């Protein structure tokens, strides 16, 4: 019997958190007399900021370490898993860790009867608007929490590490048991009972939250998986053809790399108030991923498939309320915002303000207390300039 746990995390920011969870699953299982080992998907490295990455833990009750290693070790990725942990809920929109990989469903490796475990404050129905359907039934479990930066020592520890251990125990005691989790955490942190308590709380929470997702429930997956070339199809000498240069005004006017879009890196996206734009070009100039397409009227459209949510455009924009970063789960597609604006400026602006109202937050890395949704200055449609940008 082999139990496989996959931990999906945001590159760099959650690297230590992902590894700590994988390690502790093995140490706790080992303390229960089970065999385990843990590794990461090395090809994710060098991890770029925010890129979807994976860490794994494998546990068995009956196999020798060598047999477990033979089945699960020395591999790039796993074929299937019992539990897939998602440490940032925006990854449910798909994950594309590197070029030629394609945007894959977050539940790709969840086996029949397996569980997708998401740290989120969204409802499960909201999550299922984004997750791919499968031909068999699987389970969705959630526990309350935000995109955690707890693994980085400069940021506040929000106990996501402990909660995840508790949640894994809540879903499948054959991996680790909740009593063993509590014992381990109390032993490691004798003066901090809150850690074991957080694990127990998350354990209870997932046991209540877990639901079966029926075959066919979820969305039709629209992203194609690229087919890698065969050895005789490559150019000789480790050379690859570049993206052919092309430029024209308008949405998607510049040629871009079709085999590596990187849009799944983002957990926020810029929302633009075109009616406030002064055409200063700074967003277009500052964007490190060249996501901005110049249009015939001097405005700049955004190719969201390529946007990594880095926030540079919003920081560079000198106009208050013109570019604002908004929670990625507020959006169901990557369509052109400029086209929507041109079709109906008033309606687009109302839509943009609605998104900003629901999804603008101060990042938890600043407060350490979780996502804090905030409201900005409501600027009416049309020529009136907003106040000074702060």
List the one residue out of 131, 2, 1, 98 whose CA is nearest residue 56: 2
- CB 48, min distance to other proteins, A: 15
- CB 42, min distance to other proteins, A: 4
Angle, vertex CA 114, rays to CA 111 and CA 115, nearest 5: 130
- CB 240, min distance to other proteins, A: 9
β-strand 3-10 against 52-60: which pairing, if any?
antiparallel
The owner of tokens 């702060």 is 390
- CB 306, min distance to other proteins, A: 23
CB closer to other proteins out of 228 and 366: 228
Binding residues (CB under 8 A) for other proteins: these are: 22-23, 26-27, 30, 36-40, 42-43, 45, 65-67, 69-71, 73-76, 228-232, 238
Which residues are CB-contacts of 339 (< 8 A; sequence separation ≥ 6)? 251, 301
Q: CB–CB of 27/42 below 8 Å?
A: no
- CB 211, min distance to other proteins, A: 33
Looking at the DSSP bridge assignments, the partners of residue 67 are: none
Looking at the DSSP bridge assignments, the partners of residue 270 are: 325
Half-sphere exposure of residue 258: CA atoms within 13 angstroms, side-chain side: 10
- CB 212, min distance to other proteins, A: 31
List the one residue out of 111, 119, 37 whose CA is nearest residue 81: 111
Q: CB–CB of 265/106 below 8 Å?
A: no
CB closer to other proteins out of 194 and 228: 228
- CB 9, min distance to other proteins, A: 16
The owner of tokens 């590197």 is 98
CB closer to other proteins out of 22 and 50: 22
CB closer to other proteins out of 68 and 171: 68
The owner of tokens 């394609």 is 102
CB closer to other proteins out of 76 and 375: 76
- CB 255, min distance to other proteins, A: 23
Which residues are CB-contacts of 3 (< 8 A; sequence separation ≥ 6)? 58, 59, 60, 82, 172, 174, 175
For residue 52, what is the DSSP state?
A: E
Looking at the DSSP bridge assignments, the partners of residue 81 are: 110
SS3 116: strand
SS3 388: coil
Q: How far is CA 341 from the centre of its chain?
A: 28
- CB 3, min distance to other proteins, A: 16
CB closer to other proteins out of 31 and 253: 31
- CB 299, min distance to other proteins, A: 39
CB closer to other proteins out of 13 and 37: 37
CB closer to other proteins out of 69 and 289: 69
Q: Give kind and range of the element (H or E) at residue 3.
A: strand 3-10
In terms of phi and psi (left: phi > 0; alpha: psi -120 to 50; beta: otherwise), the region of 3 is beta
SS3 83: strand
- CB 101, min distance to other proteins, A: 15
CB closer to other proteins out of 111 and 254: 111
CB closer to other proteins out of 63 and 140: 63
Cα–Cα distances (Å) from 284 to 301, 302, 313, in that order, read 9, 9, 8
CB closer to other proteins out of 74 and 154: 74
């Amino acid at each position: 019997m082999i139990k496989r746990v996959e931990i999906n995390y945001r590159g760099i920011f959650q690297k230590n958190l992902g590894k700590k969870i994988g390690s502790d699953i093995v140490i706790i299982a080992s303390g229960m007399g089970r065999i385990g080992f843990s590794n990461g998907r090395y090809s994710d490295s060098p991890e770029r900021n925010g890129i979807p990455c994976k860490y794994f833990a494998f546990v068995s009750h009956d196999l020798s370490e060598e047999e477990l290693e033979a089945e699960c070790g020395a591999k790039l990725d796993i074929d299937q898993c019992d539990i897939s942990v998602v440490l940032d809920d925006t990854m449910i929109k798909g994950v594309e860790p590197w070029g030629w990989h394609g945007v894959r469903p977050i539940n790709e490796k969840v086996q029949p009867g397996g569980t997708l475990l998401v740290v989120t404050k969204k409802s499960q129905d909201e999550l299922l608007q984004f997750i791919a359907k499968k031909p068999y039934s699987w389970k969705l479990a959630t526990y309350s929490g935000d995109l955690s930066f707890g693994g980085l020592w400069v940021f506040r520890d929000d106990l996501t590490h402990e909660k995840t251990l508790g949640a894994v125990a809540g879903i499948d005691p054959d991996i680790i048991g909740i009593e063993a989790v509590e014992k381990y955490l109390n032993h490691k942190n004798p003066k901090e009972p809150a850690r074991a308590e957080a694990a127990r709380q998350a354990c209870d929470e997932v046991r209540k939250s877990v639901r079966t997702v029926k075959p066919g429930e979820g969305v039709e997956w629209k992203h194609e998986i690229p087919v890698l070339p065969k050895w005789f199809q490559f150019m000789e000498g480790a050379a690859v053809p570049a993206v052919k240069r092309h430029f024209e005004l308008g949405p998607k006017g510049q040629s871009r790399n079709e085999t590596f879009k990187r849009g799944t890196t983002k957990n926020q996206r810029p929302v633009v108030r075109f009616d406030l734009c002064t055409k200063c070009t700074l967003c277009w100039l500052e964007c490190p991923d060249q996501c901005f397409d110049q249009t015939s009227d001097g405005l700049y459209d955004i190719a969201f498939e390529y946007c990594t949510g880095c926030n540079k455009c919003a920081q560079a924009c000198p106009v208050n309320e013109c570019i604002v970063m908004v929670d990625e789960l507020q959006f169901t597609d990557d369509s052109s915002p400029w086209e929507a604006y041109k079709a109906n400026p008033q309606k687009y602006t109302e839509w943009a303000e609605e998104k900003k109202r629901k999804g603008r937050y101060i990042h938890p890395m600043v407060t350490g207390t979780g996502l804090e949704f905030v409201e900005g200055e409501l600027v009416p449609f049309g020529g009136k300039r907003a106040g000074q940008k702060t």
